[in-house]
A and B are shown apart, each in its own frame.
Chain A
Amino acid sequence: GAVVSQHPSWVICKSGTSVKIECRSLDFQATTMFWYRQFPKQSLMLMATSNEGSKATYEQGVEKDKFLINHASLTLSTLTVTSAHPEDSSFYICSASPGTTNSNQPQHFGDGTRLSIL
């Protein structure tokens, strides 16, 4: 149980393109989902917390107008990288937990999206 699916698994596109990444919880409802970014040989860095039916909460230094998050249902959150540039190339990973906010449940991660901007 507790499967999180992320799509697409990898994207290569030209600079200036906007890219949408989907994160779905397949067998549970997720009030909250999380978006991380991971550069090579570095740890996962939390970008934002996606809340169903409300605005996302962004971490310091993450541009909310560049990384648009939509959490329209309890099983789907999307991250759109707008006008992507080569420096946005990274491994983007989402996670979700069946628990409510502030519960100490483990998080279940998608398999990530490798984004390469040419």
Chain B
Amino acid sequence: SQKIEQNSEALNIQEGKTATLTCNYTNYSPAYLQWYRQDPGRGPVFLLLIRENEKEKRKERLKVTFDTTLKQSLFHITASQPADSATYLCALAGGANNLFFGTGTRLTVIP
């Protein structure tokens, strides 16, 4: 079965720096990959979707890359702010529009 790993459970960075989160997967070739943000006690909120034929996607301070050879996606937040502190989840698309989620990385941006 597919396995999805996010590089670290927790990541602390200084405000203003770029946060880089990693998502690796095995035993799967997804047509697309999504990133979500989850705050404590809340449901995930969609951030970005990237397709297998796209190398990079940007949205404001967010950037996602997708390397199907390495089976890896990187998620970057530039000029990070304390409000960016949350858990970030990567998700791979299943067959019937369902999603399989990674365990998440809890990001803390220190003022």
Question: Could you tell me which A residues sit within 8 Å of B by CB distance?
Answer: 4, 6, 32, 34, 36, 41-46, 49, 57, 91, 93, 95, 97, 99, 101-112, 114
Contact = CB atoms under 8 A, between A and B. Distances in A.
Interface stretch (B14-22, B42-50, B63-71, B76-84): B42-50
Interface in B16-47: 31-32, 34, 36, 41-46
B43 A112 contact: yes
Interface residues of B, number: 27
Nearest to B1: A60
Contact of B31 (A46, A104, A111): A104
Contacts of A44: 44, 89, 101
Nearest to A57: B96
A111 B97 contact: no
Given A104-B31, A104-B49, A111-B42, A99 B100 contact: no
B96 A102 contact: yes
A46 B43 contact: no
